[in-house]
């Protein structure tokens, strides 16, 4: 059961957070969680209808409306422009969450150079260029937190996810390299690694009764892993309460792996 009294992080109030893939699933939970902390949130997604509905929902609950920019992360120029727009509207970004991803399943014999490159263009490349784009803002602030999203899928040897698994394993290397490069500027970089989160997309597309039973049997904690559980850790990693934590991987999976 998700706590009815979530932790409050005073250091997040008023800070600007930029979240990729915030329109649905884990991303939507991240947007909600940071808005509830009083952060100024900008998020990007290709799902405009879902994103605008989320903005309406949050505004109705908190009287604070997050900033939404429709953006396809394959277009790095558009991503950079969205980050600059967020800075101009909300102030310098001190929290970057690279959450967006495409976990489509593809049979190994059906992978093409084009499909491989497309997966990397969504799952890995934007994370670096987003970090590059916020670097100067965070350097001028003297602090910042970048949270890159990984996945347990490659550790589980999950099939039909070759490019996705490769990109998520690579995210660990990206995190550690950026942590070294940016640490002198007071910027922390960590990897948040979710397990099998029961989002609407997973339940509709990939989780049948047999799969859910397997997940429940494999997890140490016999409850559904929900987006809110992941967002709760993201809040901690973004806050000053984790000020000396960087270059680390944090798994939220109920003990799946």
Whether residue 41 is contained in a domain is answered as: yes
Residue 176 belongs to some domain of the structure: yes
Which domain covers residue 96, as residue numbers?
12-195+226-251
Summarised one tens digit per residue, pLDDT across range 66-91 is 999 999 999 999 999 999 999 999 99
Residue 90 lies in a domain: yes
Known catalytic residue: 164? yes
Domain assignment of residue 205, yes or no: no
Tokens encoding 199: 């989002």
Candidates 63, 84, 82; CA nearest to 22 is 82
pTM of the model: 0.96
Under 8 Å CB-to-CB from 22, ≥6 apart: which residues? 28, 30, 31, 41, 43, 44, 45, 51, 54, 66, 68, 99
Mean pLDDT of 240-249: 98
The pLDDT confidence band at residue 215, using thresholds 50, 70 and 90, is very high
Indicate whether 1 belongs to any domain: no
Residue 221 lies in a domain: no
Helical packing angle, 113-123 and 125-141, nearest 10°: 20
Give the chain's domain count.
1
In a domain, 220, yes or no: no
Given the residues 9, 143, 164, 206, select the one marked as catalytic: 164
Q: List pLDDT tens digits, range 105-155.
A: 999 999 999 999 999 999 999 999 999 999 999 999 999 999 999 999 999
Overall average pLDDT of the 231-240 stretch: 98
- With respect to residue 143, please indicate whether it lies within any of the assigned structural domains: yes
CATH code assigned at 125: 3.40.50.720
């Amino acid at each position: 059961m998700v706590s009815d009294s979530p932790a409050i992080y005073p250091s997040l109030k008023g800070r600007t957070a930029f979240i990729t893939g915030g329109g649905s699933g884990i991303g939507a939970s991240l947007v909600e969680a940071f808005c509830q902390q009083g952060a100024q949130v900008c998020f990007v997604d290709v799902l405009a209808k879902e994103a605008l509905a989320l903005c309406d929902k949050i505004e109705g609950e908190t009287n604070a409306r997050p900033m939404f920019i429709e953006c396809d992360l394959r277009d790095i120029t558009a991503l950079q422009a969205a980050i600059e727009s967020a800075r101009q509207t909300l102030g310098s970004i001190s929290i970057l969450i690279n959450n967006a991803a495409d976990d489509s399943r593809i049979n190994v014999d059906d992978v093409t150079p084009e499909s491989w490159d497309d997966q990397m263009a969504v799952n890995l490349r934007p994370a670096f260029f987003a970090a590059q784009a916020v670097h100067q803002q965070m350097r001028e602030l003297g602090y910042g937190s970048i949270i890159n999203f990984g996945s347990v899928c490659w550790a589980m040897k999950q099939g039909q996810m070759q490019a996705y698994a490769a990109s998520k394993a690579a995210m660990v290397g990206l995190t550690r390299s950026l942590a070294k490069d940016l640490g002198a500027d007071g910027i922390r970089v960590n990897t948040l690694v979710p397990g099998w989160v029961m989002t609407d997309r997973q339940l509709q597309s990939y989780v049948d009764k047999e799969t859910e039973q397997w997940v429940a049997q494999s997890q140490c904690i016999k409850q559904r892993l929900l987006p809110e559980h992941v967002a709760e850790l993201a809040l901690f990693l973004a806050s000053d309460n984790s000020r000396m934590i960087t270059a680390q991987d944090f798994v939220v999976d109920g003990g799946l792996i």
